Structure formats: structure tokens, C-alpha cells
Amino acid sequence: MITLKNIEKSISSKYQRSFILKGVDMEIHEGDFITLMGPSGVGKSTLLNIIGLLDQDYEGEYFFEEKAVHDMKEKNRSKLHKSEFGYIFQAYHLIDELTVYENIETPLLYRNTNSSERKSIIAELLDRFNMVAKKDLFPEQLSGGQQQLVGIARAIAGRPRILLADEPTGNLHSVQAKEIMEVFKELNESGTTIIQATHARENANYGNRLIEMSDGKIFQNIQL
Amino acid sequence: MIYNNIIIAWRNLTKRKLYASINIFGLSLGISSCMLVFALVWHINSFDKYHKNADNIYRLVTNTFEGSREYHTPGVPAVLPEAFQNDFSGIESSVLISGGHNGLITVQEAGQAKYFMESGLAYTTDAFFEVFDREVEGGQSVNILEKPNQAVISKKYAEKLFGSTDVIGKTFQFQKGDLYAVTAVMEDFPKNTDFPFEVFLSYENLKKSRESGGWNSIHSDDQFYLVIKEDRVKESINSGLAAFVEKYLGDNNRENRTHLLQPLTEIHFDERYSNFRYQVSSHTNKIMIGVAIFLLLTASINFINLSTALSGKRSKEVGLRKVFGGNRSNIAGQFLSETGIICLFAVFIAFVISSLAMPYMNDFLGTEADFSIIFSPIGLLTVFSIWLIISLISGAYPSLIISKLNPIGAIREQNQSKQSKTYVLRKGLVVFQFMITQFFIIGTLVLVMQMNHLRSADIGFQKDAVATFTLPERDLDKSRRLAERLRNLPNVDMVSVSFTEPASGSSSSTNAIMVESNEEYTVHIKPADEYYLDTYGLELLYGENLIKEDTITRYLATESFAKKAGFENPEDLLGVYVNIGGIEAPVAGVVKDFYSQSLKSEIEPTFIFQNHHHFRTVGVKVSEANANLVMEKAGEIFVNLYPEYPFEYSFLDEKIANFYESEQRMSTLFIIFSCIAVVVGCIGLYGLVSYMAAMKTKEIGVRKVLGASSAQVLTMFSKEYVVLLLIAFALAAPLAGYLMEKWLEDYASKIQLSWQFYLFSLLLVAGIAFLTVGYKSIQAAWANPSVSLKSE
């Protein structure tokens, strides 16, 4: 589904060029549940951003189902981005001024989904995450775990095929973290491809592949 | 989507109540000032535009020259119209209006006489209704002012005189003389006309006495109006005027008289030629438009400044929206609709403010501007454009800059480089705003100082404790009796009967011929009795005062005449024979110069002499602090002698102050507008400093932990604004100085703009800025670093 060939990203300062990613090759298949692991600064988030089409500033080749993303025009890339990817952040990053309902609705608005369809999708998601009663609350009125559930709901509302999660449980305590991982597992089982970056080894157990990174390179690629 | 945008806009507003209210309030102040000025300017410019002939009506005005000086009058000789109509063809219609007549109207009702003191009556003919649009009841507009003793009165006036509008055939007496019969009733005059006449009398009654002066006598209130439709006719008149003057004046044209066609549309603005109502100089008109634009600009800049400052806080939201599929146009749309909505609020508030303020402004300016003009298509279109432009500009920055941010960076709020760019922009805007504020402050200071100067300057005579009133009748004996009785009142020091007080709006000038050399000079004349100098405190420098006499045997002249006539030593003028109006007499005394009009005009060479035919003003100098009480007694004596007339007096200092009424009004208006500009500026500054303080909370915390004192933090804050302030001052001071010097040129007597003056205005703005910025800065400087750092 996704093929990365010799991806490199570097920052040039006055005297030297330091690499964040160096020679990364990667193959992602439909239905994969991949965990990226490694210490802070190793390039996990950068790699996720590149995969998620949020960062164009890299060298190397990126194919999405045979289409060369690195050569793609802005318009097509943004179309691809909109239709295929969903994002989940460590700090949830909900829009503070919007209610739970409206936060989930945002990606649908940008996809021009019509009103009645929007309603049914959101109702279904609220129901699935047991948040029906909380739909009119604002993010600050929710606990961290609940916020992250909203974050997930928002990420999958547009029915993306690939879900990218950057430290999704980093701000949560273990019970909430477990709950979130269960949700991921369910999503994966129903066909969504998931790539997550994490520090926690136990989270990797929910997936089918573990990629360990070190110094901007892939250090180990383990099938679980 | 729109709904979503509106929701977000509303929540952002309510979340940051302080910013929102500051922002909206500042903008609505700017817009409401703009609306008020719009209504006012519209009103001023609508004068006499409603006549169907408006574009084709002209007034024939007169210019005369003496040396290099040009004199202007809106009047023509009363004999001119007839000759004019004979000599020029193609004129559609024309009319002579002799306005400015005052006097007593007497109505007999059931054997009982009712008296009305009226001013502003006019003598004219039927042709008035041909030239101007003024509806006559029943449509009969011929033969109503053709024969002697006919009168046309307005509906309002008919009610006043007779208590009904069915008054045709009823009669009234004017000035205890001619009896007039009402031949028609006309509609009341509209607010926006310079012909505010309630009563027209048949010109036939005035014609003889007016025409006796021939071609040499011009009354400024005898005005000749023409309707000329064809350019060809206009051109032939313009080219034929010189020959026309030559034909009738011939060798008598000593003052190089010329005539000129003045379009009706300029009458309200050209202050060189007066009209029958009030005028607004085109200067004032332009200044007001400029002030409104400046106010709107500063309020908009404020708004833009604050909105952009706030939008920086929202980069995270923008980043997220982009991650979830929002493209640039979605984001831009969101910001634009937000600013649009906020702006709309401001517009609504401005509607409320300005409609409430309108009556006060009209009262204050003596105008009758109508607020409903704002709701006319052109008014609404203007308001709509203002709304659109401000929304677009203040929405454009976040739409263009923030929507361009890299989403991941935006979410992490890592946009320091972009921030610094907008910081420069914001500084530029602050400088601009300071500049406008300073401009207003300097302008206001100049106005106020000049006004004080005018009021306190030496005008060459005493104006305190002198009351004046008008003599109702020209009966010499009666007036002498009146003066004598007034003199016997306790606490009355002096009483004088004269043409006018020393400084007066109505002045009279004529030619003085030196008998020996036959040299001619234009001089102002002040017919007066022998008590004139003492009553008004005029100083006799050389020679003797006037004496009591019925024929003129001596003149008093002012110093400046001596100078003009070439007498190095004014004393040498004594005994020199002068011919004024055919009467030869020696100069008996030389009087110290005084302003014979107002401080706006130059000091004119002036002659004072006994000529009781022109006496119409009584001046009473009182010695008691409570002058009103004394004047009450004077009133009893007056009513005793003139039972039909009401007794109305005024004090000379108030009258003099009235000369500067328009300046006074303008300076007050300017003060109000500059206060608004200052308030709006402060609002913006406060908002910006709060924002800056919030942005720098962490920096300040870290600095304090590292050992910076509160004073050092405060310096860090202030340094920046001081620099901006100085830049703005350097831009504003020369511009304001230049414009105000221009304005001061209109005055013969004026203040000097010194460097202390500029320093003072700079300190004033700095003081205001510090008061605004100080509180927030001190708050930030004193904040406990452990608290401010923890929140990060």
C-alpha cells in the first residue's frame, strides 16, 4: 500500500547538516498495525508526518498504491491526504472552542459530507465510544482519556484507510491507555491500517509489526 | 460550514470578552463619528440643490478694488436689474431679493393691536417663485407681489400672526408704516435652503427709496438672481459685463467695480460673499471629511491590530483544521466571516450611538442634519463599504499568513519567525496610530490656544460691563430723551447712541477725500455721539472729542488713517479738512486704533462723527457687578418710551465672543473628535500591551528568576513604545504644524507655534500612552515568576 524508498530528512545549520532521517526504506501493507519505537528525537514523529503527507520537505521516494507522492501536485496530494489519512495526537489537540460533537464534525465539513449523513456518522461514533451524553461538552470539561476518545472519533469520522497516531497514550494513565489500545485493535480488525509511534513496549503487542528506530534509521523490523 | 464559522466567531468573542469589547467599542466609535459626519456633510452639501433650476441659477456679485486689495459683496445696485434685463438677452428669468429687513409687524385684531418684532423679512417680486422652488398654496403665483402693499407669508407664519392659514386678504402693518394685504400663503421653507424667508413684501414698496442711491449705492442684502440655461447666454454675459459696467458707471467707476456670475451651488460655501443664512467654509467641509476619515482609519487600524494579535493565538486551531482536511480557502473563509461578524456588531452599535448623538450635534452646531440619510441607498451603501473594507483588511492578515503555516508547526505553535514579521507590521500600525493621535492633539492645542488668544487679545476698546440694545425707531428726540433718562439711573456710568458698537459685524465704509490734495481713501465710518469714546473706552490720543451737534462740523480719525494718509506724526492730522459724503470738516481728534470688525479682519482706518441719521445702537456702561439688575431698570424706561417693542439687550463681551462662534464650534467639535481619536488610540494600545504582556509572560518570568528587577522589566516594556512614539511624533509634528500654520493665516492676530508648544504636545501624548501602557506593564513586571512559569 505504501512504499518508502531511501527517505532522508535533514536540517542544515551554518556549519553542518544533521540528519533526522537517513535512508529509511519501508513497506506498509493494507491492514498492518505498525508500532514505531525508539527514544525521543529518533525521528518517529517526523516519519509519521511524512507518511501522513503533512511534511513535504524530504528526499527520497514515496509511493502510495503505485502513485508517486513525492512528485505529486499540491492539489492531488491534499485530496489524497483528505481521503485516506486520519490523525491522533499525544496532546489530543481538540479545538477548544468547539463541543465534542462539533470537533468530530470538523473533518466531515471539510469533506463536504451532507448534513444528514454527517449526523448519522457522528451519532454512530458517539454511540460507539459511549459519549452520547457528552456531545455538547467542551474539551476542557472532559478527562484526558475521554478527550483522546474524541480525538480518535474525529480521526476516523472521515473513514480514512490509514490512521496515524503519535504517542496516543503518552498523556494517559495505564487504564485509559489500555482502553485506547483496545479501540485501536478493534479498528485494525475491521480493516483500518494503523501506524503508531510510542515509547511503551506493551502497546506494541496490539499490533502485527514492531519497527525499532535509532539515529534516524530503521534498526529492527520485527514481525509479531 | 457558515454556521460552524459563526459559532466559532461567537465563542471566540465571548471567550475573550475584554478584547472583544475593546475591539468592537473602538471600531464603533470610529464608525459612528463617520456616520455623523456623513450626515452632516450631506446636509451641508444639500443646500438649495432641490430647486429644479439649481444648476442654472446664478447670483450676480460685485467686486471692487482699492489698490491691491479686493472687496467682495453679494449685493448689486438696486437700479442694476432693470438695466441688466434690457442689455442682455436669453435670461430665462431673474429676481431681485432685498433681504435682511427687520422691524415691527402690527396686526389689528378685534380693535386690539398685536405686535411682533421680526427679522429676516425680504422684499421681492413674483419672479422669486419662477426662479426658486417654493410652492404657493393654490398654485397661483402671479400677481401676488406685483403691486405695492402685497405680501406673501408662510403657513407657519400665518398661524403665528393670525392663528389660521386661511388668511388671504388679511392685513398687517410693517414698521408702523405701510399696510400690507396677504395675497397668498406659501409652504414653509425647508431646512436646507439659504433663503429662509417667512414673509415676502412687495418690492414696489421699497423700490423708490432703494433706487434713489443710483449706481453708486450697493446694499449687500440686495441680491440679484438669474436663471441661465444656455452656455451661450452665460458666455455673452461674462464677456459683456465689463462693457455693461462701463456703460452705466463710466468715469464714476473709481473703485474698479466688476460683476461676476456666482453659481447657486457655491453660495453656501463661499465666505467672501455672505448669504441670507449661514455659511460653511469649504475648508471646514474638507476638514470634517478629513477628520472622519482619520477617525475611521485609526479605529480600523486598532481593529486590525487587535484581530491580528489575537489570531496569532489561534495557530493551533488552524493547524488542526489543516490536518483534518481544511484547505487555505476554508481557513481564510473562516477568518473573514469572523471579522465580518465582529465588524457587523460594531456597525450596529455605531448606528445606535450616532442616532442618539445626532440631535446633540445638531443642537450644538446649529445645523439641522437628518440622520435618516444614513438609511438612504447611498448612506447604506457607504456603511456597507466601510463594513466590507474593514472586514476584508482585518480578516486578510490571518487568512493570508496563518492559513499558510505548516500544520505541524502551527499545532506546536512554533511560528516564531512568522510572528516577528507580523510584529514589524504591528509596530508600523502603532506608529501610524500614534501619529494620528498626535496630529489631533496638536491641532486641538492650536485651536484652543488661538481661541484663547482671540478672546483675551487687546481689541483697542473696553468690552466688559457694556450692554447694548437696538433703537427701534429713528426719532432723534425720543432717542435723546431715552439716553438722558438712562444716564440718570444709579450705577449707569455712561450712555452712548451710535450707529454700531466699535467692533461690529455690520460695518459701513465710504470714501474719504482729503480736501487739499484731493486724495481718496476707503475708510470705515462709525457715526456716534459725543459719549462714544467714554462709553466704549476708546482712547483719544490727540486733539478733542466730538461735541453735541446736529450737523457735522468735526471728525475723529484713527491712527491708522493718519498713517495711511501719509502723516508720519498722527498729531499733524489735526485740523486737516476731509470730505466724507459731501461734508467737509476738519479732523478734531485722533483716536487709538481699534478693531472695527473682528480679530479675523485687519484694523481698518476709521472715522467717527455725529450723524444721527444712522444712529441705531445704544451702549450702556454700568458700574455695578450685577449689570442685569441695572438693565432691568433700563428696560422699564425703554418700554415707557417704546411700548410696542420688546426690550432685548446683550453684553458687548458676549457679542464679541459671537464673532468667533464658528471657530468656537469648530474647536469644540475638534476637541470632541480628538478625544475620540485619543480614546480609540488608547484602547488599541491597551489591547496591544495586554497581548504583549501575555506573550512575554514566560520571558519576564525567566528574566526575573535570573535576577532582573521590576524596574528593569518595566524599562524593557517602555523602551519599545518610547521609540515608536518618537517616530510617530517626527512624522506628525511637521504635518500638523504645516496645516495649522495654514489655518492661522486666516487671522490678522494670531499665536506663534514655538518649540515649547511641540514639546508640550509630545509630553501630553507620552503621558497618555504611559497611563495606558503603565498599568499592564507594572502588572507584568510584578507578577510572581513561579506562577507565570508554571503555566507554561
Give the gap in angstroms from C-alpha B426 to the nearest C-alpha of chain A: 26
**Is residue B320 less than 8 Å (CB to CB) from chain A?**
yes
Sheet arrangement for strand B649-651 = B492-498, B617-622, B466-470, B649-651
- State whether A95 and B320 contact (CB < 8 Å): yes
Distance of alpha carbon A30 from alpha carbon A8, whole angstroms: 24
Share of chain B above pLDDT 70, in %: 96
Query: Are B438 and B571 found together in one domain?
Result: no
Q: Is residue B488 part of a domain?
A: yes
Distance of alpha carbon B312 from alpha carbon A105, whole angstroms: 24
**Is residue B6 less than 8 Å (CB to CB) from chain A?**
no
Interface test with A, best of B6, B15, B323 (most A CBs within 10 A): B323
Strand partners, B199: B153
Strand partners, B494: B621
- State whether A109 and B1 contact (CB < 8 Å): yes
> Of B644, B672, B695, which closes a domain?
B644
Sorted by sequence, the CB contacts under 8 Å of residue A119 that are 6+ apart come out as none
Q: What was the pLDDT predicted at B418?
A: 47
pLDDT tens-place string over residues A124-162: 999 988 899 999 999 989 998 899 999 999 999 988 999
Query: Are B218 and B74 found together in one domain?
Result: yes
For residue B469, pLDDT beyond 80: yes
Give the gap in angstroms from C-alpha B334 to the nearest C-alpha of chain A: 12
Q: Is residue B726 part of a domain?
A: yes
Residue A220, CA distances (Å) to A35, A193, B644 in order: 12, 20, 118
- Closest by Cα among A65, A32, A28, A31 to A47: A28
Any idea how long chain B is? 792
Q: Is residue B306 part of a domain?
A: yes
Taking contacts as CB-CB distances below 8 angstroms, the residues of chain B near A105 are: 4
Reported as a pLDDT band with limits 50, 70 and 90, residue B244 is very high
- Closest by Cα among B235, B268, B264 to B59: B264
Query: Are B548 and B580 found together in one domain?
Result: yes
For residue B416, pLDDT beyond 50: no
Q: Is residue B596 part of a domain?
A: yes
Q: Residue A173, exposed/middle/buried by CB under 10 A (0-12, 13-18, 19+)?
A: exposed
If phi over 0 gives left and psi between -120 and 50 gives alpha, with beta otherwise, what is residue B398?
Answer: alpha
Query: Are B116 and B181 found together in one domain?
Result: yes
Domain span at B126? 54-266
Distance of alpha carbon B114 from alpha carbon B155, whole angstroms: 19
- State whether A107 and B324 contact (CB < 8 Å): yes
- State whether B327 and A110 contact (CB < 8 Å): yes
- State the pairing for strand pair B583-591/B540-543: antiparallel
Chain A residues 62-81 with a CB less than 8 Å from chain B: 78, 81
Q: Do B520 and B488 meet the contact criterion of CB atoms below 8 Å apart?
A: no
**Is residue B1 less than 8 Å (CB to CB) from chain A?**
yes
Count how many Cα atoms sit within 13 Å of the Cα of residue B649 in the half-sphere of its side chain.
Answer: 25
Nearest chain B alpha carbon to A45: B408
**Is residue A3 less than 8 Å (CB to CB) from chain B?**
no
pLDDT tens-place string over residues B506-533: 667 778 889 888 888 888 889 999 999 9
φ and ψ at residue B182, rounded to 5 degrees: -70, 125
Q: At what angle do helices B17-45 and B377-401 cross, to 10 degrees?
A: 140
Q: What was the pLDDT predicted at B683?
A: 79
Number of structural domains found in chain B: 4
For residue B53, pLDDT beyond 50: yes
pLDDT tens-place string over residues A172-182: 888 888 988 99
A49-53, A60-64, A72-76, B690-694: segment of lowest average pLDDT: B690-694
Strand partners, B216: none
- State whether A110 and B408 contact (CB < 8 Å): no
Q: Do B634 and B486 meet the contact criterion of CB atoms below 8 Å apart?
A: yes
Give the gap in angstroms from C-alpha A65 to the nearest C-alpha of chain B: 20
Nearest chain B alpha carbon to A49: B408
Choose among B1, B8, B330: nearest Cβ to A97.
B8
Please give the angle made by the CA atoms of B291, B296 and B301, to the nearest 5 degrees.
125
Mean pLDDT of B630-644: 89
Element (H, E) at B733: helix B710-744
Query: Are B497 and B627 found together in one domain?
Result: yes
Mean pLDDT of chain B: 84
For residue B625, pLDDT beyond 80: no
pLDDT tens-place string over residues A93-136: 888 888 999 899 988 888 888 889 999 999 999 998 889 999 99
For residue B2, pLDDT beyond 90: no
Taking contacts as CB-CB distances below 8 angstroms, the residues of chain A near B1 are: 109
- State whether A111 and B323 contact (CB < 8 Å): no
Taking contacts as CB-CB distances below 8 angstroms, the residues of chain B near A110 are: 321, 324-327, 330
Sorted by sequence, the CB contacts under 8 Å of residue B714 that are 6+ apart come out as B777, B778, B781
Element (H, E) at B702: helix B697-705
- The residue type found at A124 is E
- Closest by Cα among B469, B458, B448, B453 to B655: B469
**Is residue B329 less than 8 Å (CB to CB) from chain A?**
no
Choose among B12, B316, B325: nearest Cβ to A82.
B325
φ and ψ at residue B543, rounded to 5 degrees: 80, -150
> Of B618, B644, B670, which closes a domain?
B644
**Is residue B330 less than 8 Å (CB to CB) from chain A?**
yes
Taking contacts as CB-CB distances below 8 angstroms, the residues of chain A near B323 are: 54, 87
Query: Are B426 and B409 found together in one domain?
Result: no
A74-88, B336-350, B589-603: segment of lowest average pLDDT: B589-603
Nearest chain A alpha carbon to B407: A54
Strands (E), chain A: 2-12, 17-28, 33-37, 59-64, 67-68, 85-88, 162-166, 193-198, 209-214, 217-223
**Is residue B790 less than 8 Å (CB to CB) from chain A?**
no
Interface test with B, best of A58, A77, A87, A136 (most B CBs within 10 A): A87
Taking contacts as CB-CB distances below 8 angstroms, the residues of chain A near B15 are: 97
φ and ψ at residue B229, rounded to 5 degrees: -95, -35
Q: Do B574 and B590 meet the contact criterion of CB atoms below 8 Å apart?
A: yes
pLDDT tens-place string over residues B76-118: 999 999 999 999 989 999 999 998 888 889 998 888 888 888 8
Q: Residue B409, exposed/middle/buried by CB under 10 A (0-12, 13-18, 19+)?
A: middle
Interface test with B, best of A77, A82, A101, A109 (most B CBs within 10 A): A109
Q: Which cell is B173 given?
A: 402693518
If phi over 0 gives left and psi between -120 and 50 gives alpha, with beta otherwise, what is residue B708?
Answer: beta
DSSP for residue B605:
P
Q: What was the pLDDT predicted at B791?
A: 43
**Is residue B663 less than 8 Å (CB to CB) from chain A?**
no
Choose among A54, A82, A111: nearest Cβ to B408.
A54
Q: Do B339 and B402 meet the contact criterion of CB atoms below 8 Å apart?
A: no
Distance of alpha carbon B479 from alpha carbon B470, whole angstroms: 11
Strand partners, A24: A7
Mean pLDDT of A6-12: 88
Distance of alpha carbon B254 from alpha carbon B117, whole angstroms: 39
Element (H, E) at B108: strand B93-109
**Is residue B118 less than 8 Å (CB to CB) from chain A?**
no
**Is residue A98 less than 8 Å (CB to CB) from chain B?**
yes
Query: Are B599 and B451 found together in one domain?
Result: no
**Is residue B12 less than 8 Å (CB to CB) from chain A?**
yes
Note the CATH number of domain A2-223. 3.40.50.300
**Is residue B604 less than 8 Å (CB to CB) from chain A?**
no
Q: What was the pLDDT predicted at B56?
A: 94
pLDDT tens-place string over residues B145-154: 999 999 999 9
Residue B575, CA distances (Å) to A190, B85, B484, B553 in order: 125, 48, 31, 11
To which residue does cell 509511493 refer?
A63
Distance of alpha carbon B125 from alpha carbon B209, whole angstroms: 16
Taking contacts as CB-CB distances below 8 angstroms, the residues of chain B near A96 are: 317
**Is residue B412 less than 8 Å (CB to CB) from chain A?**
no
- State whether B4 and A89 contact (CB < 8 Å): no
pLDDT tens-place string over residues B372-401: 888 889 889 988 998 998 888 878 877 777
Taking contacts as CB-CB distances below 8 angstroms, the residues of chain B near A82 are: 325
φ and ψ at residue B181, rounded to 5 degrees: -110, 135
B27-36, B234-243, B344-353: segment of lowest average pLDDT: B27-36
Residue B180, CA distances (Å) to B106, B150, B187, B209 in order: 10, 5, 19, 18
**Is residue A111 less than 8 Å (CB to CB) from chain B?**
yes
Sorted by sequence, the CB contacts under 8 Å of residue B163 that are 6+ apart come out as none
Residue B218, CA distances (Å) to B69, B121, B509, B510, B579 in order: 18, 18, 11, 11, 20
Whole-angstrom distance between the N-terminal and C-terminal Cα of chain B? 33
Reported as a pLDDT band with limits 50, 70 and 90, residue B216 is confident
Taking contacts as CB-CB distances below 8 angstroms, the residues of chain B near A43 are: none
Neighbours of B89 (CB within 10 A): 9
Give the gap in angstroms from C-alpha B343 to the nearest C-alpha of chain A: 20
Neighbours of B201 (CB within 10 A): 24
- State whether A87 and B317 contact (CB < 8 Å): no
Query: Are B250 and B177 found together in one domain?
Result: yes
For residue B417, pLDDT beyond 70: no
